[in-house]
Amino acid sequence: MIVFFKERLAFLSVPKTGTTAYEKALAPRADMVISDPPMLKHAPVYRYNRFIRPMFLKVCDAELELMAVMREPISWLGSWYRYRRRPFMEGKPNNTFDVSFDEFVLAYMKGNKPGFADVGSQLKFMETQPNGTGITHHFRYEDQPRLQQFLQDRLEVELALSRENVSPEMDLELSSNVEKRFRRKFADEFALYDSIP
């Protein structure tokens, strides 16, 4: 999470959406950077609402706008799948070395997910809270120019991004049957992604 107080903006870090590169590039310009532990770095809207928002509201009498990046849902799962196949994951319980991408997505669709497929939900991460706290500015991971232009205009900075925390390259294909089931079960996730300009 990166906070820009003067601009009243908090950039929430949805996992596997390239936010580490933005964090690195914008850290010198930010007023607050939460890069560790992961449960705070990747604090979803509900955690921001419960812990971070009250701090700014009570101490500074300030309400921040929230921004977040969303990745196309199948691509997002593909990134997690590839991420858990990095060499150092070998022998760890959450690795995906002996699991096909179809098996990974099918496991993700279960109510009680096995550890290797328990990667959260972008929709849940960005869910608007009962008090109205939610994402003000949504961006597609696949539309980096729009995201970068917004940040450059809002923060009056020139961005120089590096590649960080990248999953290994790998061709992934989801069978049409599994894709249909996934799209049906997670229709709200696709609807949110499709609603982003």
pLDDT recorded at residue 169:
82
The pLDDT confidence band at residue 171, using thresholds 50, 70 and 90, is confident
The pLDDT confidence band at residue 3, using thresholds 50, 70 and 90, is very high
pLDDT recorded at residue 168:
72
Q: Quote the tokens at residue 113.
A: 């997910």
Residue 69 near residue 14 (C-beta atoms within 8 A): yes
Is the pLDDT at 166 greater than 90? The verdict is no
Cα radius of gyration rounded to whole Å, the chain: 17
pLDDT recorded at residue 119:
97
Query: Does the domain formed by 2-195 have CATH 3.40.50.300?
Result: yes
Q: What is the 3-state secondary structure (H, E, C) of 18-82?
A: CHHHHHHHHHHHCCEECCCCHHHHCCCHHHHHHHHHHHHHHHHCCCCEEEEEECCHHHHHHHHHH
For 78-137, write each residue's pLDDT tens digit: 999 999 999 999 999 999 999 999 999 999 999 999 999 999 999 999 999 999 999 999
CA angle 21, 22, 28 (to 5 degrees): 110
Cross-strand bridge partners of residue 140:
70
Mean local confidence (pLDDT), 181-186: 98
Q: Quote the tokens at residue 37.
A: 């532990």
DSSP-assigned letters across all residues of 93-145: TT--TT--HHHHHHHHTSSS--GGG----HHHHTPPPTTS---SEEEETT-HH
165 versus 34: the higher-pLDDT residue is 34
pLDDT recorded at residue 37:
93
| CA distance linking residue 172 with residue 174, whole number of Å | 7
| CA distance linking residue 67 with residue 10, whole number of Å | 6
Query: Cα torsion for 22, 24, 29, 31, to the nearest 10°?
Result: 90
pLDDT recorded at residue 167:
72
The pLDDT confidence band at residue 170, using thresholds 50, 70 and 90, is confident
pLDDT recorded at residue 42:
96
According to DSSP, residue 87 is labeled: G
Is the pLDDT at 164 greater than 80? The verdict is no
